[in-house]
Chains A and B, each alone.
Chain A
């Protein structure tokens, strides 16, 4: 620690990036960017300041301020103009239109846009060079554009909705600050506070800026949002620590003063405060792409490769077949465009939205749609302790009286066991805890459960108050019966608190009660209580006391001792007690017991941690709190599992330095922030790799960031949970930042991608589950959607190569992609998992892709081919029944598509006009379309599972059944509705034509079932390696 501090703090104050906006902005944009980069690097370093080391005189000189009168109003105004208002620069918000454009042109949309542009190009070529051309390409281009725009609007709307919920979190109440200017105390808006201002704070206030305390009375501040310490900290004018964050004489902007009063000089305002630095570090961080975005890009690469590959092959082929340049180019474009899965963008968006909805319903609000899946890919969770794993509320955890440790239920809803309450010692202990206590409930909360009521006063005292109220009786009544007559409040030098109460109906009317640091309390005692009987203090008792104290302290708990003395009857009623010059005995007290408190873990956390573990997710605790507390909580929630000793403990037992402990023998390790300071990134990687159970304690926000970066360097996908400002840089940097909705600070919520509305860590498990499920189901959805691409492309290819009439037209392709395939594909998002997804390892983002060669192989090479054959069979059936036998179709294309040939002969010698044969052709399109719908039935049922048999999985997915019915009805509607022949050129089919594909549907189903059967029977076998997607 010392070492690190030395190294860091030598830097002179002048090097601090103290932004002075008036002087900066004239630089060019480029330099600005550079400056920003440097600035960010600067921000990543630890806080450097020396104000806490200065004497009051030096301080007064430095800020040119009178420490009693403060600034003159004029000077304050000047400073305000120079430094700007005391507010945090809000993170640069992206304008709405930029967000919208991102939706329009990001990721998948780009593919569709390319397709649309190619279509327009093809149309341009056609209309320029040919008199007689179809407008299909034009329509297709428009449809593609419309699809992108609609989907873009949809997802924009979705995200805007979550953004709205975010808005509601914002605290709009303007804060006031009490400053002393020209000797007068005036109330001003916090934003008008300037450097060097003399500020007074009282219990309940929010600290208006970074303050150097010059005087304080019992001042305590809650730094939990900045440092993660769950206990309020004392503040006094003394310089107590090299590290400004730990020095007692500094208060930090936007932390809370819990009790007492203090006066201080403002040493930093706005963005240059410690809090401001963290906030600007957070907003300056660049965020990586979400895993799903990476997956989608990979998918686009694959699809593009396939499309270009096919396109070029057939480009060459069409030359070889004697087509002209222009035709070949049109074909090339046609083939490339045909590979674009028009409906997939919408499908993926809807699937993600559905999951986001489901998660929001389970209290996980997802800010960014793509982040829905990220939790599923997560392989490491870096969790903050305070407020995330714990309740951020001191609670009584253990009692020690009658030489026994009693455990207290600390869960939020008080369902656990109780302890022995029949001992007399307990009664007395409860009385002392209730009476020698300055905390009180705020009014009008009788309806709330005790644990939820708001109290005034110190956290430990509140804990005691609630504890007594809960497990003994009403404290208010108790206090009424035994009113307080005198009191010595707690202070850090005494380390005890004394109060004297009047007892009714007693020979000795007064009782003195004392609580405080156990070792101090023991010094006052000469007797102790055992089962209500007073016994003289002996060594045995002292040893028992020591053991208990050590044991409870070792659990990371804050221990208080309690004792009392019945004042002799010489103190009559009305005796004037004087607490300044003590006029009553304060020795030979009777020791009662110990009460220890902790910020207890949330009830659901251990189970959740366990589930994450079994799901192969490494849970790392990263906290600003002390190592002992951190370790205790880590053990309590299972981050360090039972029976496993951290490296230091092993070292301590062996009485060897930690270095000698075999790093691989110790699964667990607790790393102190000061150690972390001296570690380079490789060493950090070593720690992260070699230990499975890691706790980082006393970490600064910057270090949290480093830890996240370390995990990411190792290839992990990192989730960070946190609620405080100190977590926000890590939240932003993480692949998915998860903030707490109730206790979380605004900054952390802004930085996060996901918000747990109920603050329940267990919701993360839900998130992981949903994320993994949606990843699996997206695979299925994509496999399903891609399959129909082959029966959509092959007709065009055959049209080129064999010169047959076009078997499937653009309109019918769109009917499939944007009509019949949509709901079934979306319905796969409702599919239930095939196995326990929480029992397997997180996916490996390098190997386990959303869309891989195997998926393409299955969809394109196998099922798709069967579907294409099915479609062609129907096509040949219809043409043959109408007079065109397959053999006679070869090479008929030119005549067939010639408008002026109106006596085209068929296989029977009959002659057809152009329109007549086109009607047959469009009937074929319709039939081909219907065939695809019907074989997609089988494909849908096959895609339900990737490994299991459908018979194991069942048909419980109602949406899927609805999807099947819907697509069939839609197909029938398109075919049979009068007027469709003119609107979409779809024609009624003869009933028999619907059944042409039945053998192929059965073939697909049987083929895939057999494939999956073999995969199940031979895990790791060839078929699995080649076809399991």
Chain B
């Protein structure tokens, strides 16, 4: 039995005759102690001339030898899987040497401590780097803004889709637009605006010199500017009559000024298909533009109460019961509004599908 164990174990030994030679003495001693007859036989290997005389003996012994060999060969083949499993489990936990994953507790703690220090120093390095980074970055003014110019455009109400499908006679289909708009316009309530912001002169930039970290004032943009689309007169923003209001706003960019003092205008039309599908649009404010006084923006840290200007589009006469793709573009010098990749840069596209 011991012999079987050893022969099966052999492959797990540190390989090689050279390595074995080192252990030779030990192994050999075991070997000799275990099977003396066999050891004798081994000695005979060199006694080839004598073999002839010991013919009979040799033959018998050889038979035994073969039997044993067969046994020891069969065993591991049958239990190969079991054997593999055992090696695996021994790798996971070796109770003899108290090793987990081929490491003792001490070795584990040592390597973990070393790695802890390694990662701690790495963390220190990155902290230092980040600290340096923040030294170079102003909290008021982003280092680069060219990636966001020209500004993007977004509309309200927004409900995860740019398709406005609703049935005039079924309030359930448009009620959420109304709620969304109402919510959005809370910040534009006249009372709030008057309380928080100043009424600055229209038609010119509202430039506030002074230190970067000084708090800036914001211009009023009252809800009432939106007239019929303010939800004040018609709390359903026209949805109940099939004349929906859609609000358009331009993305904020710190320091952005529309080129050369021309306010940015909004203009909507049918994107593709019959132009007469939209027979009339009312814009509020009537200029259909974002007044210059709302620019520049100084960033959220100092320009706390800044209110983005809006332009409301009142689609008063749109073909019903069919999807009408609408494209609203920002018009003005320096505005790019036809980038194919970005459908929200300087323009916005949505569909109206009003059922009656």
List residues of A whose CB falls within 8 A of some B CB: 2-3, 379, 616, 618, 647, 657-659, 661, 663, 672, 674-675, 678-683, 686-689, 714-716, 841, 844-847, 861-862, 865-866, 869, 872-873, 876-877, 880-883, 885-886, 900, 902-903, 905-916, 919-920, 923, 999-1000, 1003, 1022, 1026
Flag if A909 contacts B148 (CB, 8 Å).
no
Q: Could you write out 26 A-B pairs with CB less than 8 Å apart?
A: A647-B46, A658-B49, A659-B50, A683-B42, A687-B45, A714-B16, A715-B17, A844-B19, A845-B16, A846-B13, A872-B126, A881-B137, A883-B144, A883-B145, A902-B348, A903-B249, A908-B140, A908-B299, A908-B300, A909-B303, A910-B253, A913-B153, A913-B154, A916-B152, A916-B345, A923-B147
Task: With CB as the reference atom, state the residue of chain B lying closest to A873.
Answer: B129
By a CB distance below 8 angstroms, the chain A residues around B14 are 844, 846-847
Flag if A869 contacts B122 (CB, 8 Å).
yes
With A659-B47, A872-B126, A920-B147 already in contact, the answer to whether A2 and B19 are too (CB < 8 A) is no
With A882-B143, A900-B160, A919-B147 already in contact, the answer to whether A913 and B152 are too (CB < 8 A) is yes
By a CB distance below 8 angstroms, the chain A residues around B341 are 915
B82 interface residue per 8 A CB criterion: no
By a CB distance below 8 angstroms, the chain B residues around A647 are 46
With most chain A CB atoms within 10 A of its CB, the pick from B24, B114, B158, B252 is B252
Flag if B252 contacts A913 (CB, 8 Å).
no
User: Chain B nearest CB: distance from A446 CB in Å?
Assistant: 52
Flag if A658 contacts B47 (CB, 8 Å).
yes
Flag if A680 contacts B129 (CB, 8 Å).
no
Flag if A3 contacts B299 (CB, 8 Å).
no
A877–B132 alpha-carbon span in the complex (Å):
10
Q: Which residues in window 113-143 of B have CB below 8 A to A? A: 114-115, 118-119, 122, 125-126, 129-130, 133-134, 137, 140-143
User: Chain A nearest CB: distance from B342 CB in Å?
Assistant: 4
Flag if B122 contacts A865 (CB, 8 Å).
yes
With most chain A CB atoms within 10 A of its CB, the pick from B130, B151, B158, B344 is B344
A144–B52 alpha-carbon span in the complex (Å):
66
A845–B16 alpha-carbon span in the complex (Å):
8
B164 interface residue per 8 A CB criterion: no
Flag if A876 contacts B46 (CB, 8 Å).
no
By a CB distance below 8 angstroms, the chain B residues around A883 are 142, 144-145, 148, 254
A885–B341 alpha-carbon span in the complex (Å):
26
By a CB distance below 8 angstroms, the chain B residues around A1026 are 111, 114
A865 CB contact (under 8 Å) in B18, B114, B119, B160? B119
Q: Which residues in window 290-322 of B have CB below 8 A to A? A: 297, 299-301, 303, 306
User: Chain B nearest CB: distance from A993 CB in Å?
Assistant: 11
Flag if B158 contacts A663 (CB, 8 Å).
no
A689 CB contact (under 8 Å) in B20, B152, B162? B20
Flag if A912 contacts B45 (CB, 8 Å).
no
B213 interface residue per 8 A CB criterion: no
By a CB distance below 8 angstroms, the chain B residues around A910 are 142, 145, 148, 251-254, 297, 299
Task: With CB as the reference atom, state the residue of chain B lying closest to A674.
Answer: B48
Interface size of B in residues (CB-CB distance below 8 Å): 75
B71 interface residue per 8 A CB criterion: no
With most chain B CB atoms within 10 A of its CB, the pick from A616, A618, A886, A909 is A909
Flag if B46 contacts A880 (CB, 8 Å).
no
By a CB distance below 8 angstroms, the chain B residues around A861 are 115
User: Chain B nearest CB: distance from A2 CB in Å?
Assistant: 7
User: Chain A nearest CB: distance from B227 CB in Å?
Assistant: 24
A554–B249 alpha-carbon span in the complex (Å):
108
User: Chain B nearest CB: distance from A1009 CB in Å?
Assistant: 16
A999–B16 alpha-carbon span in the complex (Å):
46
User: Chain B nearest CB: distance from A116 CB in Å?
Assistant: 29
Flag if B51 contacts A678 (CB, 8 Å).
yes
Give the 8 A-B residue pairs with the shortest CB-CB distance, closest first: A909-B300, A913-B152, A915-B342, A911-B251, A846-B15, A715-B15, A659-B47, A881-B143
Q: Which residues in window 322-336 of B have CB below 8 A to A? A: none
A83–B52 alpha-carbon span in the complex (Å):
40
B87 interface residue per 8 A CB criterion: no
Task: With CB as the reference atom, state the residue of chain B lying closest to A2.
Answer: B52
By a CB distance below 8 angstroms, the chain A residues around B344 are 902, 913-915
Flag if A869 contacts B142 (CB, 8 Å).
no
A659–B45 alpha-carbon span in the complex (Å):
8
Flag if A913 contacts B142 (CB, 8 Å).
no
B110 interface residue per 8 A CB criterion: yes
By a CB distance below 8 angstroms, the chain B residues around A845 are 15-16
By a CB distance below 8 angstroms, the chain A residues around B30 are none
User: Chain A nearest CB: distance from B37 CB in Å?
Assistant: 13
User: Chain B nearest CB: distance from A34 CB in Å?
Assistant: 17
Q: Which residues in window 183-223 of B have CB below 8 A to A? A: none
A716–B20 alpha-carbon span in the complex (Å):
11
A675–B50 alpha-carbon span in the complex (Å):
11
Flag if B158 contacts A900 (CB, 8 Å).
yes
B234 interface residue per 8 A CB criterion: no
Task: With CB as the reference atom, state the residue of chain B lying closest to A912.
Answer: B148
Flag if B48 contacts A675 (CB, 8 Å).
yes
A298–B20 alpha-carbon span in the complex (Å):
23
By a CB distance below 8 angstroms, the chain A residues around B259 are none
B125 CB contact (under 8 Å) in A3, A686, A909, A1003? A1003
A910–B297 alpha-carbon span in the complex (Å):
9
A905–B301 alpha-carbon span in the complex (Å):
13
Flag if A911 contacts B147 (CB, 8 Å).
no
A881–B138 alpha-carbon span in the complex (Å):
9
Flag if A714 contacts B17 (CB, 8 Å).
yes
By a CB distance below 8 angstroms, the chain B residues around A658 are 46-49
Task: With CB as the reference atom, state the residue of chain A lying closest to B17.
Answer: A714
B77 interface residue per 8 A CB criterion: no
B254 CB contact (under 8 Å) in A679, A865, A885, A909? A909
User: Chain B nearest CB: distance from A3 CB in Å?
Assistant: 5
A680–B50 alpha-carbon span in the complex (Å):
16
With most chain B CB atoms within 10 A of its CB, the pick from A658, A688, A880, A903 is A903
By a CB distance below 8 angstroms, the chain A residues around B339 are 915
Flag if B46 contacts A659 (CB, 8 Å).
yes
Q: Which residues in window 34-67 of B have CB below 8 A to A? A: 41-52, 55, 58, 62, 65
User: Chain B nearest CB: distance from A517 CB in Å?
Assistant: 27
A916–B144 alpha-carbon span in the complex (Å):
13
User: Chain B nearest CB: distance from A425 CB in Å?
Assistant: 42
B126 CB contact (under 8 Å) in A683, A869, A1022? A869
A906–B148 alpha-carbon span in the complex (Å):
11
Flag if A882 contacts B51 (CB, 8 Å).
no
Task: With CB as the reference atom, state the residue of chain A lying closest to B129.
Answer: A873
User: Chain A nearest CB: distance from B354 CB in Å?
Assistant: 21
With most chain A CB atoms within 10 A of its CB, the pick from B13, B46, B69, B339 is B46
User: Chain B nearest CB: distance from A464 CB in Å?
Assistant: 37
With A658-B47, A659-B44 already in contact, the answer to whether A908 and B110 are too (CB < 8 A) is no
Flag if A616 contacts B18 (CB, 8 Å).
yes
Flag if A881 contacts B44 (CB, 8 Å).
no
Task: With CB as the reference atom, state the residue of chain A lying closest to B142.
Answer: A883
Interface string of B2-28 (1 = CB under 8 A from A): 000000000001111111110010000
By a CB distance below 8 angstroms, the chain B residues around A905 are 252, 300
A1026–B348 alpha-carbon span in the complex (Å):
60
By a CB distance below 8 angstroms, the chain B residues around A881 are 137, 142-144
By a CB distance below 8 angstroms, the chain A residues around B345 are 913, 915-916
Task: With CB as the reference atom, state the residue of chain A lying closest to B137.
Answer: A880
B161 interface residue per 8 A CB criterion: yes
By a CB distance below 8 angstroms, the chain B residues around A882 are 142-145, 147
By a CB distance below 8 angstroms, the chain A residues around B69 are 680-681
User: Chain B nearest CB: distance from A615 CB in Å?
Assistant: 12
User: Chain A nearest CB: distance from B302 CB in Å?
Assistant: 10
Flag if B125 contacts A916 (CB, 8 Å).
no
Flag if A869 contacts B45 (CB, 8 Å).
no
Flag if B15 contacts A689 (CB, 8 Å).
no
Flag if A909 contacts B252 (CB, 8 Å).
yes
Flag if A3 contacts B52 (CB, 8 Å).
yes
Flag if B148 contacts A916 (CB, 8 Å).
yes
Flag if A686 contacts B42 (CB, 8 Å).
yes
Flag if A911 contacts B47 (CB, 8 Å).
no
